[in-house]
Structure 1
Amino acid sequence: MISLTESRPLHVEHLRVRGLVQGVGFRPHVWHLAHSLGCLGDVRNDGDGVLIRLWAPDTKTADTFCQRLRADSPPLARIDALERSRQPAQSSAPPPTTDFQIIASAATEVHTGLVPDAATCPACAAEIGQLGNRRHRYPFTNCTHCGPRLSIVRAIPYDRANTSMACFPLCPDCLAEYNNPANRRFHAQPNACPMCGPRLWLEDSSGQMLDPADLDAEDAIAAASRLISRGQILAIKGIGGFHLACDATNSQAVARLRQRKARDAKPFALMARDLDVIRRYCAVSAQEAALLQSPAAPIVLLECRHSEPDQPSLAPGIAPGQTSLGFMLPYSPLHLLLLAHWERPLVMTSGNRSDEPQAIDNADARTRLAPLADALLLHDRDILNRLDDSVARVDAGQPRLLRRARGLAPAPLLVPEGFHQAPPVLALGGELKNTFCLLDAPRLILSQHLGDLDEPATLREFERTLRLYRELFQHQPERIAVDQHPDYRSSAFGRHLAAELALPLIEVQHHHAHIAAVLAENAWPRDAGSVLGLALDGLGYGSDGTLWGGELLRADYQGFTRLGWLRPTPLPGGDRAAKEPWRNLLAQIHTAFGWDQACAQWPLLTRLPGLTEAPIPALLRIMDAGINAPLSSSTGRLFDAVAAALGVCTKSIAYEGQAAMELETLARAGSGASRTPNSAGYPFARLHRPEGIQLDPAPMWQALLDDLSQGLPPARIAARFHQGLATALTELSLDLAREQGLDTLALSGGSFQNRILLGSVVHQAERAGLRVLAHSRVPSNDGGIALGQALIAAAASPRPAH
């Protein structure tokens, strides 16, 4: 340590650390590092992150301090910037007279990030399993390396007084840990133990407390496990909301859960004690294992494997029509204790009825979940912010998010080069899978998944969460960005807010936002020029007033030009076409050939399920007249039509994307068959129009219906459709890229959650020499468009003079 009596001048620096550096044990890390290098000074949190005042013996020691500060950061920390400011030793304030100190947080304007909730760390997991430890079987054990963050916070700085732990005063033992810089619980804001922290109990669906002793159990968690093993359904209050849980091998329990939850077919998520249990049911690669075991602990979609003869089979109602399962590992002490003795998985699905927001408080759970559950496992730590489980899988060689929520939000992304002087923007996202984004350079703060805003309760949650984020991050937007769609609820809210605050409103085309989002995620600079964007999804409002969904765009942040698209087809019945795949089949066949002519050539069309009972003459009339049958170039509706032709979800779908998902599953089964003259991808034609090139599926339908009439297995037909579509899109992309002088292809839109389509397009495009940008940290579906909206709105504003 430096002696204060030394006469030689000291090296004095002020260090500003920006990023995810609060609530992660960063100040104790600085404290340990300063002691090890013999430095004096102090460190504190403030609204900009962490401020360090350092008195080092010499410049070399200060350099070493900065190098180790980055290299040895705590597991949950992320340093985005380390700014060093040399201070004149003679004129600077004297160093502390005793030691390097950790001092109180300063309440200043917020510019730092908030760390997401993190799965239980190995040290805390060991403590709850250790007999004699004062936290043995304590379900709220945590430290600076793990535990709740966003779910319990109401303000920044992230201090205990600003969390739902404020009502639990620390006992002497916990207070000693909290105040000791050498302890991993130093300033761990949710720190607690059985003496001073939250408590947990079990009650039945009528609200009566259940005594664990009556179930021959040592505590409420063990009693809950007993009830699940007896076939009961439990509502469990977790980190970001409630789950409904049951034994995944109990077919009757799973069927009852589906009936009570009104969830007919959408797959259930599963939780297993460890990787060994998961591997009994699914293949798990090294990348997938790393995802499962990461601090975010998302649900990871895995390919099923054949069960061993001596292990219990999963209930057939877990994931109907799928060959993949969504597994997660226990990510809280409560979950670890609940599954400790389970050799088989539990269903762990969101605590709600279908399409409603997840319940987060006890009173709401007693009202909404008691009819669904046989018992409720409750606790008295308030969940302030609802967080669904994140969902990911490994596609085309790398992890990709399908839903960004618990464990990942609200960790910010950084703006690309050229946006560091951008004005603050609030972007409000889309209608489905809604998220919103705060651009506050250099940060892009994308909210957690909020859901579909056509559900009134979800819309209220959207408005509540938006207010919270604006307060939490002290965000004062100068521009509001919304989707161009005239009827999106998020857009209506944004228009009202822009008028109320007298701010400019920027309406962003849906697919332009998709491409801007993938550019932003891949750090594409503002002035790097255009890319060829391939945006494939269900639908988005087009600039020409039709519904787009299969688009090839020359695009950058400033604008786009539509170069190509799938040939538009009517959506008979409007929104009903998105829920009844047979309507899309009828429209596709009628557009390609005329319905009567097609039925004469392929009589099987008249016998396909869904069409046999349809009011076909009336629907043909409305399509021909253009009444309640808007034109759409939707990729999603093309998938629906092919699914209906092959007997998949012919009449209706139970959840968004079901037909496409089950068609992909069918195609994966068919893609492994030995190659024959019939196994090549189906052809698509090109129609050259004055405004661009249309990709026409008529030749595909000709070949598909011929194969179907000849009895080719549906799985092989599904595989040929996938390969043909991927090839047609890639070849058109290559030709347009050459014509436009572009070398980069950017992929976005919900249809790129299809593993066959994504993998084939990436492989073919890269083999042909194109650079390919795709999503990884942000969903390719509408959960990512707010990110693109924010940057488009920022690019549309005048750039500041230098």
Structure 2
Amino acid sequence: MTMGGEATARDGRRLRLHVRGAVQGVGFRPYVYGLATRYRLGGFVANDSHGVVIEVEGERASDFVRALPLEKPPLARIDEISVQPVGAVASEGFYIRASDQGRVSTRIVADAATCPKCLSELFDPAGRFYRYPFVNCTHCGPRYTIAERLPYDRATTAMKRFAMCKACAGDYADPDSRRFHAEAIACPQCGPRLSHGIEDIAAAIAAGKIVAVKGLGGYQLVCDARDEAAVQRLRQRKQRDQKPFAVMVGSVDAVAGIADADAAELALLETSPRPIVLMTSRHQLSPAIAPELARIGIALPVTPLHHLIFEALDAAYPLAGESWAIVATSANPGGEPLLTDNREAELRLAGIADLIVSHDRDIVTRADDSVAAVVAGRTQFIRRARGYVPEPVRLARPVPPILAVGGALKSTVTVTRGSEAFVSQHVGDLGTAEGVRVFEETIGHLLSTLDVEPAVIAHDLHPNIASSRFAEASGRRLIAVQHHHAHAASVMAEHGLAGSALALVLDGFGQGSDGGNWGGELLLCERAQFRRLGHLATMKMAGGDRAAREPWRMAASALHGLARGNAIATRFAAQPQAARLHALLDQPGVPVTTSAGRLFDAAAGLLGLCQVQSYEGEAAMKLEARVRAPRSMKDGWTIEDGVLSLFPLLARLAAEGIDPVEGAGLFHGTLAAACVDWIARAARETGVTTVALSGGCFLNAILSCEIERGCIAAGLLPLLPRQVPPNDGGLSLGQAWIAALQLEQYGLEGTA
């Protein structure tokens, strides 16, 4: 936060303050009102297009200015306070003025979980909000998901259709109420209503049924997490064979029954965004929750409705010595975007859910649950969405207005405004028409909300993905950014690096600047440009894209590369194509890749952990789950002319009878040690000692920690992404930063 101006008030002078940041929809105006009243000041406070404008007049105006940032509401974020003296007008009293309109340069805060005071009211039989599923105040509740535009007032949200009753109107106008100017205020008399009773929901869950529930950012599918038959039915109906489900428990105390969590993980779990947090599973729930994985995603109740469901389950269906745990997964059939519309939910979820629970408050912006983990004591995002978006990433300096449209998987978009980069919520994959529609809807809403007209659009180098096609069809000036350069730049952007840095990018797939299939890259990034210093040794991809879905094919490629192709047919006899794969790999023109993701697939295939994947990253996740202690294999790699080969390691993993636990530990330890050696050599050659670590493989906590630790021991400065995911969810931020650097270096004329 910065404080601008040295103005003080003497002899009753009047001061005007402009407060910028996340200061709308968080109780900031009532806070200012209370503070001004305490100091007996006259004047006003109002939302405007830049944030909040305040004028104060009186003997203690200077004390007010000093106190303003110290006692702010819990959800408020102050970036800057500017102060200037103005002419006195002899104000009588202090009041909240109607919002000013104009070009927007403020922002909306993210949705926040139910606060302790509202939770207390929820279960107070004497209170107005007793058992009301939509209780909220200025400290909690929906924000971004119900906001249509700024300034953030009730008339610009999904709450505009609900006329306040006398009691709510009284709270809204009462400076002493916690709901003073709480835009989402509602009660049973005047607010949104559920389609079904809480008891009906609890009864359905307890009976082993699947329930669709409309949450803050979209519909969720819930069922009893201890009921194997119910979880299997959910998998069958949702057509989700192996991909893990998240689990919700009623309180932080209930976590101990299903996971081994440390203090940092529990603290993250209880933050107001209420992310799903990955923790080491104790395997006390249905085995179908997270098949063959070591970690489980756990969340706490986000909304009053969630709290009421657990209260009803505990009251009517108590478990002896145990706590209720429910599956809580996104309601997105067939991998499509999260459902938000009531009518659409009734149609699309009819064959999945036994009970569909809706309400009549619209969701303006869909937002999946955020997913995070604690890695080396710090938060790492797997998916950044509800609760965090639209909080911006602060850039090192102001940049032109840019729209960056990300990649094809785990899609996000980024819009820059001044020194802020607004990374959208997780949109998802763009492989369906509905996915593309939501992608375009997200772009429109973000540009409209921020009131930004982009100077250029940054996009991936691959021309045949939906985001690149959108950019091409826009008619705007374009900047194409190589995929792995963007991964590196996302780390550089959040850490404020504009100079030189090494970058190790371990990823699944991205089109290289030579048109090839890249994915394991060592880069030297210098301002807006990069140079490829090295890459992982190439491996053949028999069957092209099928090899990314069938790890046994990458294992076969490894055997072929080790001159053991004759063993493919017997090693993978259960696969119909195995008998002919050796001959196919001998033919010219077989696609090759440098992908680190495919290297993980090869290792998992050789160790018999996953032959065919039912979801992206399954083989790598099951390989990570087997690690007990990473161990480096002596002479397990070679580096020649910048090419890092792990074929010596793969030869060890290909040995008959190797224990998968031993092999998984050897793979992780050797790959990490090899990467540190690779980086250290490049650092000696270039003199650059700062290294950005990014790409989807850095979601692997063991690999991440081992490489970071090794870099530090080698005298290097490793930087990991913390504000966005290392996977393609962070791609758009990197694209925006590279585009900004190119505009700075070459100007707009050089970007056509």
TM-score bracket for the superposition, by shorter chain length: over 0.9
**Equivalent residue for 1:699, pick from 648, 655, 664:** 648
1:674-685 superposed matches below 5 A: 680-681=632-633, 683-685=635-637
Aligned-residue offset at 1:323: 1.6
Segments of 5+ residues of structure 1 without an aligned counterpart are: 1-6, 203-219, 307-312, 600-604, 672-678
1:729 is the counterpart of 2:675: yes
Moved more, 35-44 or 769-778: 35-44
Cα distance in 1 between the residues matched to 2:466 and 2:16: 47
Partner of 1:439: 416
Counterpart of 2:104 in 1: which secondary structure? Answer: coil
1:102 is the counterpart of 2:96: yes
Cα distance in 2 between the residues matched to 1:455 and 1:682: 46
The aligned amino acid for 1:283 is D
Partner of 1:66: 65
Cα distance in 2 between the residues matched to 1:375 and 1:254: 15
1:181-580 superposed matches below 5 A: 181-202=175-196, 220-305=197-282, 313-340=284-311, 341-342=313-314, 343-416=323-396, 419-420=397-398, 422-497=399-474, 499=475, 503-524=476-497, 526=498, 529-580=499-550
Partner of 2:666: 720
**Equivalent residue for 1:51, pick from 50, 53, 56:** 53
Partner of 1:662: 622
1:763 is the counterpart of 2:709: yes
Cα distance in 2 between the residues matched to 1:359 and 1:67: 46
- Assess if the C-alpha contact under 8 Å between 2:560 and 2:585 holds in 1: no
1:617 is the counterpart of 2:569: no
Q: Return closer, same or farther for 1:460/1:46 CA change in 2, 3 Å cut-off.
A: same
Partner of 2:317: none
**Equivalent residue for 2:155, pick from 157, 161, 172:** 161
Aligned-residue offset at 1:36: 1.9
- Assess if the C-alpha contact under 8 Å between 1:263 and 1:353 holds in 2: no
- Assess if the C-alpha contact under 8 Å between 1:683 and 1:728 holds in 2: no
**Deviation per CA, 1:173-206, whole angstroms, max 9, x where unpaired?**
100111122211111111000000011122xxxx
**Deviation per CA, 1:685-736, whole angstroms, max 9, x where unpaired?**
43434xxx1001221122222xx32x33111111001100000001110111
Counterpart of 2:339 in 1: which secondary structure? Answer: coil
Counterpart of 2:415 in 1: which secondary structure? Answer: strand
- Assess if the C-alpha contact under 8 Å between 1:582 and 1:610 holds in 2: no
Q: Return closer, same or farther for 1:33/1:739 CA change in 2, 3 Å cut-off.
A: same
The aligned amino acid for 2:84 is S
- Assess if the C-alpha contact under 8 Å between 1:582 and 1:611 holds in 2: no
**Deviation per CA, 1:268-324, whole angstroms, max 9, x where unpaired?**
111100011111111121111111111100000110236xxxxxx411111101121
- Assess if the C-alpha contact under 8 Å between 1:480 and 1:504 holds in 2: yes
Q: Return closer, same or farther for 1:248/1:10 CA change in 2, 3 Å cut-off.
A: same
Segments of 5+ residues of structure 2 without an aligned counterpart are: 1-8, 315-322, 748-752
**Equivalent residue for 1:644, pick from 590, 599, 605:** 605
Cα distance in 2 between the residues matched to 1:633 and 1:293: 40
Q: Return closer, same or farther for 1:354/1:619 CA change in 2, 3 Å cut-off.
A: farther
Q: CA RMSD in A?
A: 1.8
1:115 is the counterpart of 2:95: no
Counterpart of 2:15 in 1: which secondary structure? Answer: strand
**Equivalent residue for 1:633, pick from 579, 582, 594:** 594
Partner of 1:84: 83
Counterpart of 2:161 in 1: which secondary structure? Answer: coil
Partner of 2:173: 179
1:607 is the counterpart of 2:580: no
1:16 is the counterpart of 2:10: no
Cα distance in 2 between the residues matched to 1:267 and 1:591: 33
**Equivalent residue for 1:133, pick from 117, 127, 130:** 127
TM-score between the two structures when normalised by the length of structure 2:
0.94
Cα distance in 2 between the residues matched to 1:562 and 1:136: 62
1:740-779 superposed matches below 5 A: 740-779=686-725
Cα distance in 2 between the residues matched to 1:556 and 1:228: 56
The aligned amino acid for 2:604 is A
Q: Return closer, same or farther for 1:799/1:704 CA change in 2, 3 Å cut-off.
A: closer
The aligned amino acid for 1:642 is A
Cα distance in 2 between the residues matched to 1:352 and 1:798: 41
Cα distance in 2 between the residues matched to 1:744 and 1:8: 51
- Assess if the C-alpha contact under 8 Å between 1:139 and 1:334 holds in 2: yes
Partner of 2:734: 788
Aligned-residue offset at 1:570: 2.0
Aligned-residue offset at 1:450: 0.4
**Deviation per CA, 1:23-65, whole angstroms, max 9, x where unpaired?**
000111111122222332211111111111222426xx51x43
Aligned-residue offset at 1:791: 1.1
Aligned-residue offset at 1:594: 5.6
- Assess if the C-alpha contact under 8 Å between 1:681 and 1:722 holds in 2: no
Cα distance in 2 between the residues matched to 1:35 and 1:614: 78
Counterpart of 1:301 in 2: which secondary structure? Answer: strand
Cα distance in 1 between the residues matched to 2:187 and 2:144: 21
Q: Return closer, same or farther for 1:436/1:8 CA change in 2, 3 Å cut-off.
A: closer
TM-score between the two structures when normalised by the length of structure 1:
0.89
Counterpart of 2:160 in 1: which secondary structure? Answer: coil
Aligned-residue offset at 1:658: 0.4
Q: Percent identity?
A: 43
Cα distance in 1 between the residues matched to 2:700 and 2:690: 21
**Deviation per CA, 1:347-381, whole angstroms, max 9, x where unpaired?**
11111223111211110111011111111112111
The aligned amino acid for 1:322 is L
Counterpart of 1:407 in 2: which secondary structure? Answer: coil
Counterpart of 1:178 in 2: which secondary structure? Answer: helix
* Equivalent residue pairs, number: 730
Partner of 2:5: none
Partner of 1:36: 38
Aligned-residue offset at 1:612: 5.1
